[in-house]
Structure formats: structure tokens, C-alpha cells
Amino acid sequence: MSETVHYIGKLTLVPIEGDIQNIAKMILQKEGWSLEGYNDFLEALEDWSYKKYIIYNENIYKVDMKESDPYSNMAIATKKEDGTIDFEVRYYNGGCSFSEAIEDALRKI
């Protein structure tokens, strides 16, 4: 069922040391998600980690958020000195996904 949703939270950059596919695989293993049937660990991470991790511009961000009052559309992101990104998104999830809303906010930084 589609509805308007509103989330406020923070994105924390996951350090990429070496290959981003390897980092995605390590996250999946740490979280206990199945790797069966996947050759591309970024694709697996996108499938298994909805609203927990975001992949954007060859970076992986851990998502920390809470749900808030759902009224008008909004996509705001602010980069902090410590490298984290605070965000606030409000959207109708019948026409936009969480990842699309976050990407819209990140483009505005």
C-alpha cells in the first residue's frame, strides 16, 4: 500500500578500503544476509539492505533514521564536518523510492 512517508536521519560513509564489492560482501556477511545467487555484491546489498545502507557515487553509506510526520514532499541533506550526512526526506512511496529520495537530497548538497 502506498502512502506518504517522512524520515529524518543520518548517513555515515562506510570506509572503502580496496574494492567496493568486497566492502559490500563484508557488510552482507556481517548482517547475516544470504549471498546465494549473487555474483554482484553491490546488487545484493541493494536488495537486502533497504533503508539500512545506500550506495551513491561509488560510496556506501550506513543509514540511521526515524520516521516522522508525513505531509509535504521534502529532500534535504547537509554534510557535516565529521563526514556524516544528516538528511530529511518526505515523499509519496507510490511514486518515489527511499533511494530516489535520498539521491535527490544528495544532489542538492
- Say what the pLDDT of residue 34 is: 81
Q: Give exposure, 23-53, as e/b (b: 16+ Cβ within 10 Å).
A: bbbebbeeeebeeeebeebbebbeebbeeeb
Mean pLDDT of the chain: 89
Q: Is the pLDDT of residue 79 over 90?
A: yes
For the record, the C-alpha cell of 15 comes out as 570506509
- Say what the pLDDT of residue 22 is: 92
**Mean pLDDT over residues 53-73, rounded?**
86
pTM (global) more than 0.75: no
Domain ranges of the chain: 4-107
Percentage of residues in the chain having pLDDT higher than 90:
55
**Mean pLDDT over residues 26-54, rounded?**
90
How confident is residue 81, by pLDDT bands cut at 50, 70 and 90?
very high
